[in-house]
Amino acid sequence: LPATVPGVTVNRLCASGLCAINAAARAIKVGEGDVYVGGGVESMTRAPYVMAKTYPEWSFGNVTAFDTTIGWRFPNPRMKEKYGIDSMGETAENIYELTRTISREEQDRFSLESHRRAVAAIESGKFAEEIVPVPVPQRGKDPLWVSRDEHPRADASLEAMGKLKPAFRAGGTVTAGNSSGINDGAAAVLLMSDRKARELGLKPLVRVVCSAAAGVEPRVMGLGPIHATRKALARAGLTLEQIGLIELNEAFAVQALAVMKELGMRHEITNVNGGAVALGHPLGCSGARLMTTLVHEMRRRAPKEKRPYYGLVTLCVGVGQGEATIVEWMGD
């Protein structure tokens, strides 16, 4: 892009990529532009450590370095006192404690199915059309081209998952096997006004119907999609039964299951090509990746007869939010 094209970084943690898409859609709607690229990027493997400046300038003693990969840093003491600063894994355990109906085995079975669907999608070439191969330079050799996700496991099994110990709380149910992966990733989508698309002779795949964000208690941040989805559906004048395809971020299996059960989401139309438990959750990227996957799958499943066909993307957000976006299929 030329230097004359402006840009801005938005931050809604896990939903940042979707938030960028929604911000672009709103800008187009109010006439602030015709063409936008919205998306996100995250390198969790290279996330730095950060520490606060000391005060006064020449002080002695130890300082705390925070890992910026995931979780809290520089928590406000008043916020800590009011809400606590549970780790993301602990918030998943809180959801289990709240429901007491989503067993460890159910979480593991859900996670196994996420891997099965993701591996099947990879092997069938479904993801090929939405992935841009990335070259990795090799000393004295041709570059290594990365063109498939590394996290999904074809060898995943219920037996192996069952042997994993709780990762966040003694006696808990949340493990490394039924949690999303820590990954690197990037995704973006192209948005433009209907007028500009016609002017350029382009056929849009979907139109953004509406979006919504919602706040929830930080200790159960994973329930954010419930409230964000309900707000988005109300704004669109739709019911969940009218949604034909869903991408729900799987921060944790217990979290995704709690959302699906509360909203009545059907497994057969939700995360049909696997979710974050299998594919990983590079925070800033995930919302845009979910939208990309949703649109490509909508193209495969769109009804032949002309009738409304809607898709939903929704994610929970660390520290207690949810975001959701509804789109309508416009392609042939």
Annotation says 281 is catalytic: yes
Annotation says 14 is catalytic: yes
Which pairing describes strands 321-329 and 310-317: parallel, antiparallel, or unpaired?
Answer: antiparallel
Question: Pick the catalytic residue: 19, 210, 285, 316?
Answer: 316
Question: Pick the catalytic residue: 14, 19, 210, 285?
Answer: 14
Question: Pick the catalytic residue: 115, 151, 227, 281?
Answer: 281
Annotation says 151 is catalytic: no
Buried b (16+ CB within 10 A) or exposed e, 297-310: bbeeebeeeeeebb
Which active-site residues does the annotation give?
Answer: 14, 281, 316
